[in-house]
A and B are shown apart, each in its own frame.
Chain A
Amino acid sequence: MAKHVLRVVAVVYVLFLLVLPVGLIIWRTFGDGLGPFTEALTSPSALHAFKVTLTVAGWAVLANTVFGVGAALLLVRHEFPGKRLLGAFIDLPMAVSPVVVGLALILVYGRFSPFGGLLESWGIQVIFSTPGMVLATVFVSLPLVVRAVVPVLEELGDEQEQAAHTLGASRLQTFVRITLPGIRWALGYGVVLCLARSLGEYGAVAVVSGRLVDQTQTLTLFVEERFQNFDQPAAFAAATALALIAVVTLLLTKLLRPKDRIDGN
């Protein structure tokens, strides 16, 4: 009996939280056929928003992949003072609200801060432009690659790397030929997660971008803005596009899930 009650509760919960809203969005999007959908997504503003989103997410993923692998190697293979502090800092973005991140970035890089002013005098504008949005996205998705790679590096151990050294391989050769192949599935998983998070980021980007239509508007901001302006077809179309991207990345992460493919033969 209790089992049945639990099952009903679970189904209703998922229905009202997930299936109904997403289903309605899709229904509203495609309610009048495919035409309005493609039309809404190929408007200049929508295309620009796509481009901004891809640029920002691309740089953020690149930065976090490089940093993530480096930090994971540092955390697993080296002993140094402040190691635990570094570990804690890496997890910080999980706990801090993205809006706070955005405000903090404005405090540091804004036009009226000393550092931001200095950059501005060199002609580099961070806030209300792409660099700031990349920074915000990097911060928000910082832990994802590190946390995906660390356990696999630990499991891998350092004997294979030492063996490679004794066989004459340099540090770089060892990294490329031994370490990287050993962590490739976990790294792929972390990168996809990081990409999904970057594409969907709203709060921090909303604050630092200034929401300038056709300039710093990402896809999530586009959805928001269209909705506020009663352009529901465009809002729903973009939302569906985001949802589809999310589904694809979800499927990718299922394929790459590190614990199923630890040695990757």
Chain B
Amino acid sequence: MNKSKSIFLYNYSFLSLLNLIKKLIQNKIVPNDIKNYDYQANLFDNTINLKVPEDEKVINDIINHFGVNILNIMFKVFLSNEQYKELIIYYFWLYSIKYKNKVVYMRNLKVVNKALKISKYVGKEAHRLKGFLRFSELENNVLYAEMAPENNIIIFLSMHFKKRLKNEFWIIKDVKRGILSVYNKKDYFFINENEYKLLTKNVSNEEKNIRNLWKTFYKNISINERKNIRCQMNFMPKKYWQYITEMRDDNEENYK
């Protein structure tokens, strides 16, 4: 007998996912998969939309029962590119019920190990991009940066630059996902690229000079006798170079 797969749907957000999982666990339902509304169902799928209300209480539930560390891991897995991330969170939650905050030491369990690995990978990319992100100064004094990370880490960068560049207007764009983070010297908000138009992409008068100064510094700080390109690429993978000022030619620059 060929049973159809039951796939539960949630409304894109982390909160919606958590509420759905909570409901599933409460009702002892084991899903075949959990997907957001974009999911293209095929013939044998049985998609189910429970329309669980998005209640913020679930956040506190997790913190109180398992600790904030577990919530962080779930959140990072959620922001990853992993195909079955929702299901991984579901099972990670189940194990958290059993082992509480000690679940992070249960690497012998496949799902737990996987969740920890993904969460670490997402955190690592966020940390890397805190360094690799490059702002350009636009003619209206706004600092503007583009990036194309593997994982959806714009929130970590936004928190970071809210503290670091708190008296500047800045905008970070995730080109891969079409999301912008716009900071107005008080707070940042996320907005879809279709709903927001930059006033200008022209850079300030000084921008070219500063970029040249930086490229000069970059060239001169390297010791030729120690040349080690492999090492350089290990630390700064090529996939990021397109958006790193010193790794591009001037005529490649997409906003001039």
Genuine A/B complex: no
Q: Report which A residues bind B (CB closer than 8 A).
A: none
